[in-house]
Structure 1
């Protein structure tokens, strides 16, 4: 069990790094290529560091009982994963992982399969890995260890700031895409309604003209022609106004479509990395926009693969 803050920080960083290696290895085997997994950009997954640290602090006195060690690891890590998923969703409006398709899950944040794996992994760590880690920490000269911790922690906190900024910009991108998609739908409906109204008005004007024409057909040629000209002029003005409005709407639609395409296809490293790192991510507010980004990213990967072949 860690006795000092110095040891606590080292334990957190070491297991955060080991967790990142585990995630990357799993993703590489699954996808057949390197994937930088984890919430942050650097080689560490904080949830692993925190999870193992909690298990070490709470369960070290009970590690002689394998059953209690497993059950305790199972419960503690599951609670941590649930709280982490819930908090991240509420803060960033994205569900970063989703176990909803797996049996015995709780709101998609945790599931029985991975909770069992967490329990087994932490039991193994406590009995085999952790003594080695503590031995490594103790052989590092204290002064060297403190300097390394300052450097590593500075990089870690800088990464946290950059990642939060990236996520906020990512959510803003999704929001703008959602707003544009909404406007495109409204304009499309308006164009359709204008065309319908134009046709309906034209039919009505034609019927009025036909009625007037029949009424003055005999004996009132001059009056008939004047009335016909008046109706025709009014109809032409109306038609020109509608056509102009439709053209404006179409131009606006094309401009918004162009902007939407640019946003969905723009390559931004931090945004692409988040999508690759969390393939099961869902957006609470702009799921359609996120699906569009995922679709484009998958198409890029497919095109690259075809080129390599």
Structure 2
């Protein structure tokens, strides 16, 4: 029962995190922004952090004492959120070669994964959660039949599992599309290089012609691959802050490869803003 209860809480807090992220980013970007990693309305990092906090404070009664200093709660939440953010960012980038947040432009950041100002905000939010949200939710347990948690946990677990599988498949397909687009462009660029190298006498004219050809090829490929992406792949591509896919050989992507991916993102945004008329 306890596991089911924690799992339901995890989903509930993940949903609240998604609501907060989406509202904040929508106001900041002045347009609707779905900030979830998954297709459904959840941000698992929020659910994980709040449930972990709830478990820690339950295991150590002294932490739940009304006289326990607020500044100490702040420090715990500050450090906990920083560790969770850094770890999650690192794992996601290693697994999917993408970042869903990037603090590179903010002061006192570490690799753009965490930064002091944001961690301070999470520390303050943690105090409010520990003092008000968690006690309120725990109080509701007294009025809820344990069987409800068992049933909800089973239903939600199936939906959550399907959502994760869908997201995993979409990201894998998206990486495959980017790899294919990059390889196709490289083939065209190599062909152009061979033409220039084989005709040194008219190299100036050929360079100008082939440069224009390469630009046209890039634009054509971006448009073609953008139209092939599924709705979920487009959502994922737009939601990430920094997309750095790797070569199939495992080597880090080149600046050009990243630029090509950014062009694809821009094209997807344009298609969403100005959908093609039937």
TM-score w.r.t. length of structure 2: 0.81
Counterpart-to-counterpart distance in 1, 2:46 and 2:75:
18
1:237-296 alpha-carbon deviations (Å, 9 max, x no partner)? xxxxxxxxxxxxxx9x98897555411343421121113322x22214241232111221
1:282 pairs with 232, 240, 243, which one? Answer: 243
Deviates more, 1:122-131 or 1:179-188: 179-188
1:161-180 to structure 2, matched below 5 A, reads 161-180=165-184
CA contact (8 A) 1:184 1:257 kept: no
* Equivalent position of 2:206 in the other structure: none
* Equivalent position of 1:126 in the other structure: 130
Query: How many residue pairs align between the two structures?
Result: 253
1:119-148 alpha-carbon deviations (Å, 9 max, x no partner)? 111110110111111223332222233112
Helix, strand or coil at the partner of 2:119 = helix
- Please state if 1:98 is matched with 2:102: yes
- Please state if 1:298 is matched with 2:269: yes
* Equivalent position of 1:222 in the other structure: none
TM-superposed CA distance for 1:182, in Å, is: 1.6
Structure 1 gap segments, 5+ residues each: 201-250
* Equivalent position of 2:29 in the other structure: 31
Structure 2 gap segments, 5+ residues each: 204-212, 247-256
CA contact (8 A) 1:28 1:35 kept: yes
1:149-298 to structure 2, matched below 5 A, reads 149-196=153-200, 258-259=220-221, 261-278=223-240, 280-285=241-246, 286-298=257-269
Cα-Cα RMSD? 2.8
Give the greater-gyration-radius structure (CA): 1
Deviates more, 1:159-168 or 1:188-197: 188-197
Deviates more, 1:176-185 or 1:264-273: 264-273
TM-superposed CA distance for 1:47, in Å, is: 0.4
TM-superposed CA distance for 1:55, in Å, is: 1.6
Counterpart-to-counterpart distance in 2, 1:297 and 1:153:
32
1:108-127 to structure 2, matched below 5 A, reads 108-127=112-131
Counterpart-to-counterpart distance in 2, 1:133 and 1:283:
39
1:301–1:157 distance in 2 versus 1, CA, 3 Å:
closer
1:12–1:256 distance in 2 versus 1, CA, 3 Å:
closer
CA contact (8 A) 1:23 1:37 kept: yes
Helix, strand or coil at the partner of 1:100 = coil
Counterpart-to-counterpart distance in 1, 2:33 and 2:86:
24
1:145–1:100 distance in 2 versus 1, CA, 3 Å:
same
1:43–1:298 distance in 2 versus 1, CA, 3 Å:
closer
CA contact (8 A) 1:89 1:95 kept: yes
CA contact (8 A) 2:97 2:245 kept: yes
1:112–1:93 distance in 2 versus 1, CA, 3 Å:
same
CA contact (8 A) 1:282 1:290 kept: yes
TM-superposed CA distance for 1:6, in Å, is: 2.6
1:254–1:102 distance in 2 versus 1, CA, 3 Å:
closer
